[in-house]
Amino acid sequence: MPYVIAFILALATTPAIAKMAGGFNSPIKDELMVTQSGKAGTCSLGSVAIVLSTGVAALVSGDVEAIRLVALAIPFFLIGLADDIMKIVHDSGDGFPSLVKLALQLVACALDAYIVKGIAFQTTDVLVYYPCAILFIATTVNALNITDGLDGLATKVSMPPVLLAAIALPSLRSGNLILLMVLAGYLVYNTGRASIFMGDGGSHFIGAFLAMDALLSLHPVAIAFSAAVIYVELLSSFIQIVSIRCFSRKVFLIAPLHHDFEQRGYAEGKIVDTFFSVTVFTSLVSAIVFFRVV
């Protein structure tokens, strides 16, 4: 079965990538050295294992929708991977300049939005559809990217929405079960103390996958609500930036929210488990309210 293959591939390829690319790691940003310095030297190319495992399992499944989900998320993986490689090559916590990265993301968003419109939104007014779809995809991708900051956090908060999509969206079930199994296998090596990070390539890929779930299923509100934690994380960063630039003061000790909790002395594992528990709750509420599957 493709789901078994997905899990086994993730279990096998993740440590292989970590070993082969052990020297390829993104430096820790200066502002995070107090709490994250012990993670220096950890391989940050886990995205390769995630995408490879998901892609192969989707092809083995022969399910057109599963293959489409992976294909639509690939452009974002490539953007994130390029960003990861630039950080490694330049030995810096920053990759693409922010505006360059945003421009590349918007191009990928527009491409995916165009493809999805021909599948699920044929009759929707283009003046309404394209701005909303592009904004939604970009927001979801960047929200998950910002959430990826603690061992296992992005992985764990992605799994309940993916499971919800697998249960509630029959046409997209195969692709989501494949990704769920890949994340389960990957989590073995990503939970604290992580031996590999997914990097921007992985967070971009998974964020785009969730966005495609939401749009192709015509249930963007339901999927977004189930993943509410990642949007709160993005909002915390946005609030911090606005507050600093407009009022010259911080709202949080450091943004995004998970790092604020970390700076306040909460254990990393406690933060991850709390965010995971909240995501299980929002996914269950989404299943009851929007899909009535419980």
pLDDT digits (tens, 9 = 90+) for 163-189: 999 999 999 999 999 999 999 999 999
% of the chain with per-residue pLDDT over 70: 94
Single-letter code of the amino acid located at 25: N
Across 12-16, 23-27, 102-106, 179-183, least confident range: 23-27
Specify if 246 maps to a domain: no
Residue 259 inside a domain? The answer is: no
Q: For residue 110, tell me if it sits in a domain.
A: yes
Q: Which two tokens stand for residue 110?
A: 């527009």
Note the pLDDT of residue 264: 94
Note whether residue 136 is domain-resident.
Answer: yes
SS3 (DSSP) at 88: helix
Lowest mean pLDDT among 27-31, 107-111, 203-207: 27-31
CA distances from 237 to 24, 198, 255 (A): 27, 21, 5
CA–CA distances in Å: residue 207 to residues 140, 172, 185: 6, 16, 18
**Does residue 218 have a pLDDT over 70?**
yes
Per-residue pLDDT tens digits for 28-60: 666 666 667 677 778 899 999 999 999 999 999
Alpha helices in 217-290 (DSSP H): 220-226, 228-247, 257-263, 268-286
Say if residue 84's pLDDT is above 90.
yes
Is residue 202 in some structural domain?
yes
What pTM does this model have? 0.95
Per the structure, the count of domains in the chain is 1
Q: Which has the closest alpha carbon to 187: 202, 201, 169?
A: 202
Residue 98's domain spans which residues? 2-217
Report if residue 234 sits inside a domain. no
Q: What is the mean pLDDT of the chain?
A: 94
Which residue would you say has higher pLDDT here, 21 or 207?
207
How far apart (Å, rounded) are the C-alpha atoms in residues 18 and 266?
28
